[in-house]
Amino acid sequence: MKITDVLIPAMTQCDLAWSSKKRVLQNLSSLVSEHLGGDADQADSLFHSFVAREKLGSTSIGDGVAIPHCRAAGFKRIHGCLITLQNPIDFDAYDDEPVDLIFALVVPEEKNDEHLATLASIAALMQKDSSRQLLRECQNNEDLYNTAVKLERSR
């Protein structure tokens, strides 16, 4: 599955001032829920799903990148959210590096194969030093989205 299958411009945000892992997960939950026309209950449910997944082990993949993800009922397709942070935060990374580049996924409960394929695709993109650098250099939401699309096409 391609990143462009799960990511849209409205779910791409640059230079956010979110200051903790908890705040990131809360705000991601709200962002996804608001975009999809959900309510506070849906946002709360997503937040708890993200937290439950993080309790299994950090979703940081190292080098300042995290891919928080969760399964959620009521979704028909995978939704992604790409953000950069103004200041890196502790994300309990195995390499102890703070995180400033985050690609979150909300996955329908029954989409296991697509979930794994999408995670693999995002991880492959984010493991390249040059890709991370280009994403970190983005100055606005549109640039961040367009850069992610270009990086995917160049693989």
Could you give the number of structural domains in the chain? 1
Q: Cα–Cα distance between 5 and 138 in angstroms, integer?
A: 21
pLDDT, one tens digit per residue, over 30-53 is 999 988 877 788 899 999 999 999
Q: Cα–Cα distance between 126 and 49 in angstroms, integer?
A: 23
Please state the rounded mean pLDDT for residues 80-103: 96
User: Residue 30, Cα to own-chain centre: how many angstroms?
Assistant: 13
Write out the chain in H/E/C secondary structure.
Answer: CCHHHCCCHHHEEEEECCCCHHHHHHHHHHHHHHHCCCCHHHHHHHHHHHHHHHHHCCCEEECCEECCEEEECCCCCCEEEEEEEEEEECCCCCCCCCEEEEEEEEEECCCHHHHHHHHHHHHHHHCCHHHHHHHHCCCCHHHHHHHHHHHHHCC
User: Which residues are known to be catalytic?
Assistant: 69
Identity of residue 151: L
List the domain range (segments joined by +) for residue 11.
3-153
Beta-carbon count within 10 A of 17 CB:
8
Determine the pLDDT at residue 108: 87
Determine the pLDDT at residue 88: 97
Cβ contact 102:24 at 8 Å: yes
User: Residue 64, Cα to own-chain centre: how many angstroms?
Assistant: 13
Looking at residue 92, which CATH number applies to its domain?
3.40.930.10
Determine the pLDDT at residue 75: 82
Q: What are phi and psi of 93, to 5 degrees?
A: -70, 145
Q: Cα–Cα distance between 136 and 138 in angstroms, integer?
A: 6
Determine the pLDDT at residue 115: 72
Please state the rounded mean pLDDT for residues 63-78: 90
